[in-house]
């Protein structure tokens, strides 16, 4: 079953073609088995962070923290929903006392100026992303790190960037657990580097199965480590 993915690490053994899933390499040389999603012209590996085991989530978060430690972030902001699986763990690994959590539910004291529409590749129905005005002071004048689970097309991450811009902040980086392909590179601001625990390619369908496709934008493609 799909929910049995993301539960443990295993040896990584590259294959020329894949069928229903693929074991992707991790920073320590191990592998994580991910399901393959058929999007018609392409296939992608999936990561559903809130279905992952504690062991997997914590190790991914530790790699994320190491990937950005050189940037010396002082505050972590987590993009909902699945980015907030990793954001508190990354913040804790960086030695922070807390983190900032935007949300989809508007509280009575929220302000329109601190909201943006958001739609992602896996949740295409637009929602509104809100930032609590009572926590904006935590961001002012500080090195802010934006955290999400996966960057695929970049739509949810760009919404997070816009929300921070409305709070007067340009983050030092976006950090994700998985950089999925290079579609997100289109129109991504050069001022915000992207770091990831690991990166996966897009896949093309052949008679043998799904095969990794070369990155079309190699500058963005690696994205994974400093």
Does 193 map to a domain?
yes
Q: Is residue 217 part of a domain?
A: no
Residue 1 has pLDDT above 50, yes or no: no
Decide if 55 is inside a domain: yes
Angstrom distance (rounded) from CA 152 to CA 122: 9
Does residue 170 lie within any of the structural domains?
A: yes
CB-based burial of residue 140 (10 Å sphere; 0-12 exposed, 13-18 middle, 19+ buried)? exposed
**What is the reported pLDDT for 221?**
40
Percent with pLDDT over 90 in the chain: 83
Residue 225 lies in a domain: no
Where residue 135 sits, what CATH number does that domain have?
3.40.50.2020
Helix (H) or strand (E) holding 75: strand 75-78
CB contact at 8 A, 67 and 224: yes
Its domain, for residue 184, covers 2-212
> Does residue 219 form part of some domain?
no
pLDDT higher than threshold 90 for residue 98: yes
pTM of structure = 0.92
Specify the number of domains making up the chain: 1
pLDDT at 88 > cutoff 70: yes
**Residue 224 covered by a domain:** no
The CA distance from 160 to 165, in Å, is 9
pLDDT of residue 222: 41
Q: Is residue 220 part of a domain?
A: no
What pLDDT, in 10s, does the model give residues 136-161? Answer: 999 999 999 999 999 999 999 999 99
Q: Are 88 and 99 in contact (CB under 8 A)?
A: yes
């Amino acid at each position: 079953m799909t929910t049995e993915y993301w539960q443990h690490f295993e040896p990584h053994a590259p294959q020329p073609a894949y069928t229903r899933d693929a074991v992707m390499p991790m920073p320590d040389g191990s592998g994580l088995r991910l399901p393959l999603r058929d999007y018609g012209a392409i296939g992608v590996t999936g990561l559903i962070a809130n279905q992952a085991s504690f062991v997997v989530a914590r190790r991914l978060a530790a790699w994320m923290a190491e990937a950005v430690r050189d940037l010396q972030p002082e505050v972590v902001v987590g993009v909902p929903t699945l980015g907030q699986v990793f954001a508190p763990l990354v913040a804790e690994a960086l030695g922070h006392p807390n983190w900032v959590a935007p949300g989809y539910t508007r509280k009575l004291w929220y302000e329109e100026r601190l909201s943006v529409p958001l739609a992602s590749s896996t949740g295409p129905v637009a929602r509104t992303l809100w930032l609590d005005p009572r926590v904006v002071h935590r961001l002012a004048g500080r090195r802010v790190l934006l955290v999400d689970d996966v960057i695929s097309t970049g739509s949810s991450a760009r919404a997070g960037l816009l929300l921070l811009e409305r709070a007067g902040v340009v983050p030092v980086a976006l950090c994700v657990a998985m950089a999925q392909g290079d579609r997100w590179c289109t129109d991504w601001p050069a001022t915000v580097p992207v770091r990831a625990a690991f990166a996966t390619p897009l896949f093309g369908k052949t008679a043998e199965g799904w095969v990794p496709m070369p990155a079309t934008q190699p500058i963005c493609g690696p994205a994974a480590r400093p």
